[in-house]
Amino acid sequence: MTSPDRPARPKIVVTRELTDGVMHRMEELFDAVLNREDRPLAVSELEAAVADTDVLVPTITDRIDAALLAKASPRLKLIANFGVGVDHIDLHACRERKIIVTNTPGVLTEDTADMTMALILSVPRRLGEGEKLMRAGQWDGWKPSGMLGHRVNGKILGIVGMGRIGRAVAKRAQGFGIKTIYHNRQRLPESVEAELGARYADLDTLFSQSDIISINCPHTPETHHLVNAQRLSHMRADSYFVNTSRGEVVDENALIEALEQGRIAGAGLDVYVNEPHVDPRLLQLANTVLLPHMGSATYEGRAAMGEKVIANIRAWVDGHRPPDQVLEGWN
C-alpha cells in the first residue's frame, strides 16, 4: 500500500549507468531518469537533479554535500545509494533535511573479499611484475633465481576492520594456511575468533607482527588517515600492505615514501585518495599491484546492488522504513 505523502510512481534520478536488467526494472516501476552515457555528472547537473526529483540514486563518484543539498527541492526525501560506503554523502545534512539515506550492504562481501585475497597472493608472489615481464617480451627463460617472491602459507595476516568483508577475508586466508590477527572497534566473540582462527591485537601490535596487512574498515572521520607514517613505521621491510577499502583511510604520501625507501616490501591497492587520478609515483613503483577500484566489480554483485536499491525505494514508497536505511546520524 502506497503512503499518502509519497508518490506511487516516484521520479528517480540515477547518476550512473547500471546493469541493463536493473535499469529496465527501474523504468517499469518508477519515473526513472537514467544516465546511459555513464559519465560522472557535473555539479550543475547534480544540482538540477536534486531540485526536481523524489529519489536520488548516486554512486561513490557523486559528492552529496551540504551545498548540493541546499539546492534540493523539498520533494527529495530519499537518497538510495548504489553502494555500501556512504562517506561521499553528508549524513548530517541529510538528517537536517529529513532525507533518508540507504545503501546496499551484504551483497559485495564475497566479491571484495575475493579481490582482497587476490592481492594478498599477487603482491608477495610478484604476479603483476611477472605479467608485465611477459608482455614486454623480456622473459629469457626459467632460472633458480628468477622472480623470487615470498610464500604466503604460514604467514601472519593483519586485518584492520573485522566486519563482513574482514571476516570473509579471514575465512579465505585459512584455506591458504595463513594465520590471522585483527583489529576492530569491538572485539569479536570468542566463538567467532575460534571459527576464524583469529587473534585480537591493538593496531601497533598488528602492524609490527603482520607479514601482510589488509585494510577492510570503512572510511569515517575516525578512520581518516588511520594508517599514517607512525603506523607504517611499525611494519617490517619484508611485509606487504593491501587496501581494498577506501584510499582516504591511508596517508597516501606516507605509504608511497615507505615503498620508495624500501621500508616495506610492496603494496596491492584497489583504492586511491583522488580517484580516478592516481599519484604518478605509485605508477613508477615495481613493487605495487594497482587495480582500478574493481573489488566489487562482478555482474552478480552489480545486479544484487541494483535489486537492493529498488527494494529500498519500494519500501519507502509503501511508507515503510527501507531495509537498508543508514541510521548513522539519526536519532
Question: Which residues are annotated as catalytic?
Answer: 246, 275, 293
Query: Dmax of the chain from CA atoms?
Result: 74
